[in-house]
A and B are shown apart, each in its own frame.
Chain A
Amino acid sequence: MSKFKKKKKGVPAVNTAALPDIVFMLLFFFMVTTTMRETSLQIEAPRLPSAAEVKKLEHKSLVITIYVGKAKDPKYGVGYNQVQLNDKIASADDVPAFIINAQSKVSEAEVPFMTTSIKADKESSVGVISDIKLKLRDVNALKLSLSATPGDN
Chain B
Amino acid sequence: MARRDIPEINAGSMADIAFLLLIFFLVTTTLNVDSGVSKKLSQKPPPDFVPPKIKQKNIFEVNINRNNELLVEGERMELKDLQEAAIKFIDNGGGVGKPNEDGTPGNPCDYCQGERSETSSDHPNKAVISVQSDRGTEYGTYVAVQDELLKAYTVLRNRLAKERYGMLYTELEKAYKDSQRQDESIKKKVDDIKKSYPQIISDAEPTSAN
Contact = CB atoms under 8 A, between A and B. Distances in A.
Q: Is the interface of A mostly helix, strand, loop or mixed?
A: mixed
B147 A117 contact: no
Interface stretch (B38-46, B96-104, B120-128, B190-198): B38-46
A137 B43 contact: yes
A109 interface: no
Interface string A113-153: 00101101111111101100100111011111111111001
A127 B39 contact: no
A53 B154 contact: yes
A123 B34 contact: no
Contact of B37 (A20, A54, A60, A140): A54
B51 interface: no
A56 B43 contact: no
Interface string B132-157: 01111111101110110011001000
Nearest to B79: A153
Interface in B7-55: 11-12, 14-15, 18-19, 21-22, 25-26, 28-29, 33-44
B2 interface: no
B1 interface: no
A101 interface: no
Interface stretch (A1-9, A26-34, A82-90): A26-34
B6 interface: no
Interface residues of B, number: 46
Contacts, number: 151
Contacts of B138: 122-126
Contacts of A11: none
Interface size class of A (residues with CB under 8 A): 35 or more
A114 to B, nearest CB: 13
B11 A23 contact: no
Contacts of B64: 126
B25 A127 contact: no
A23 B144 CA distance: 45
B95 interface: no
A57 B35 contact: yes
B99 to A, nearest CB: 26
Contacts of A68: 139
B178 interface: no
A105 interface: no
B39 to A, nearest CB: 5
Contacts of A141: 41
- In the A-B complex, the 10 residue pairs with the smallest Cβ-Cβ separation, listed nearest first, are A127-B135, A122-B140, A51-B147, A145-B36, A53-B150, A23-B18, A147-B36, A20-B14, A49-B143, A124-B139
23 contacts: A19-B15, A20-B14, A20-B18, A23-B15, A23-B18, A23-B22, A34-B29, A49-B140, A49-B144, A51-B36, A53-B147, A53-B150, A55-B35, A55-B36, A127-B206, A130-B133, A130-B203, A137-B43, A142-B41, A145-B36, A145-B37, A148-B37, A148-B143
